[in-house]
Structure 1
Amino acid sequence: MFSGLQTMPRTDADLAAQALIEEGSFRFPFFSASDAVTLGLSLRKRFRLSSRHNKGKGLVISVQTIAGHTLFSCTVGDLGHVSGVGDVSLDSWACLEDIMNVVKQTGHSSFYVEKGMSALGKTAKQMGMQNESRVSGGAFPIWLENAHCCPIAVIACYSGSSNDDHNLTVTTIKDFLRKLSREATTDRHTETPAQSVMTTSSILPTIPRHHEYGSVSHTSEPGIPESEYRGGSEYSRGASPYEQMMQRGEHDDHLDDHSTER
């Protein structure tokens, strides 16, 4: 009888499918030379804290543009020691260049290509790889979110362990993108729009000033002198002689004069 459930080992096809999902998930909103240095240093720091480094294992790291320009490179460990034992083998950089070329030729991570070839039972030559390139995990394409034609750069590390190198690269990229996402969220919460704070004067409407000239009311407008309103407008009517007489209080005097003459 079974004492418990045992996890079935993952096949090469499963690992290739997982690597393909990672490629589609880990896309960069932007990428600069400074980001390449940050990624490279993060990869170096993470490896130095690992048990592999504590056991004396070495690593070589490189970040290049898709055209081949080196943005970052370093070695973690020694190429050789007086005892004849080195943390990094003499062909480590050549192997690193090979797996980076796999990404440049295919647009996929070297781990995906390796496991896909194994699942199909194909060799590098049968898959059309140039110069019989070494295919091993550790190199990963850097894609931009808004550019789907080809990767913009490649980040890679090599220590001789395909699975460990791939996991180290992917974990470093994932943490880097999470940090970018947190920083973007913080910036959105802290920034204050220029028009978010409104003063009382911007809320209350401006009350126009009115001036009485005769029987017509005029409103002062910005940029127009008040003297222009004194003559009235084409729509205003001046006071008639009778209205002017009434305003001066002469109406009763005229009535008295007419009654006296009669």
Structure 2
Amino acid sequence: MSDDDTLLKELLEQEEELQFIRFSNEMALELGLALLKEARTRSKPVAIDISRHGLQLFHFAMEGTAIDNGEWIRRKNNVVQRFGHSSFYVGRSLKQAGRTMEEKYLISSQEYAAHGGAFPLIIRGVGVVGTVTVSGLPQQEDHELVVGVLRQFLATRDTVRQ
């Protein structure tokens, strides 16, 4: 198994692991604040977005971010909504195939960004209902920030499968 195959497998395992049994607007606020706290701990300026069924439940842009971060969030979210996988998974899968979004799916990179940072908000037994997204760091760091905070968040609540 190649390094790319191993990474893709790990990314799919994260999606299987990091699922909720329910997700409320209040939880979006708590999760968003947890992401903000972790970003501040790392002294990393990011924009954070949590949406469910197209409704933005949390959005915050730290000092040091720009309007471009909002565009990256929109484009990364489009990837998750279309493919049902993290934007990092889709990007790494395309890289492994040696193809671009335009070549493989005939969709515009102006509307879709297969770069790390958007993770599917998954309800167990339901599927993808939204996105948890960070923009502002290199793509792998964006992804790791979201996954790390999601893992901690789920571990401290009864919102994860037993």
Fold shared per TM-score above 0.5: yes
Higher helix proportion: 2
Residue number among 39, 59, 76 corresponding to 1:73 in the alignment: 59
State the AA in 2 paired with 1:36. Answer: A
Q: Show the counterpart of 2:145.
A: 168
Q: Show the counterpart of 1:141.
A: 120
**What SS is found at the alignment partner of 1:165?**
helix
- Distance in 1 separating the partners of 2:65 and 2:149: 21
Alignment of 1:79-228 (within 5 A): 87-128=64-105, 130-132=107-109, 133-147=112-126, 150-181=127-158
**What SS is found at the alignment partner of 2:146?**
helix
Q: Show the counterpart of 2:46.
A: 59
**What SS is found at the alignment partner of 1:153?**
strand
- Distance in 2 separating the partners of 1:119 and 1:27: 26
Q: Show the counterpart of 1:40.
A: 32
* Larger relative contact order, structure 1 or 2 (CA cutoff 8 Å, min sep 6): 2
The alpha carbon displacement at 1:182 in A equals 9.5
**What SS is found at the alignment partner of 1:104?**
helix
- Distance in 1 separating the partners of 2:50 and 2:159: 24
The superposition leaves residues 69-126 of structure 1 with CA deviations (integer Å, 9 ceiling, x where unpaired) of 100000112xxxxxxxxx2233111011110110001000001001111111110112
Q: Is the 8 A contact 2:117 2:134 kept in 1?
A: yes
Unaligned runs of 5+ in 1: 1-9, 78-86, 186-262
Compared CA separation, residues 129 and 37, structure 1 to 2 (3 A)? farther
Alignment of 1:1-40 (within 5 A): 11-40=3-32
Compared CA separation, residues 96 and 175, structure 1 to 2 (3 A)? same
State the AA in 2 paired with 1:65. Answer: R
- Distance in 1 separating the partners of 2:90 and 2:122: 17
- Distance in 1 separating the partners of 2:131 and 2:92: 19
Structure of larger gyration radius: 1
The alpha carbon displacement at 1:15 in A equals 1.7
The alpha carbon displacement at 1:129 in A equals 5.8
Compared CA separation, residues 35 and 117, structure 1 to 2 (3 A)? same
State the AA in 2 paired with 1:34. Answer: E
Instruction: Provide TM-score, normalisation by structure 2.
Output: 0.90
Q: Show the counterpart of 1:226.
A: none
Q: Is the 8 A contact 1:64 1:70 kept in 2?
A: yes
Q: Is the 8 A contact 2:21 2:159 kept in 1?
A: no
The alpha carbon displacement at 1:184 in A equals 10
Q: Matched residue pairs, number?
A: 159
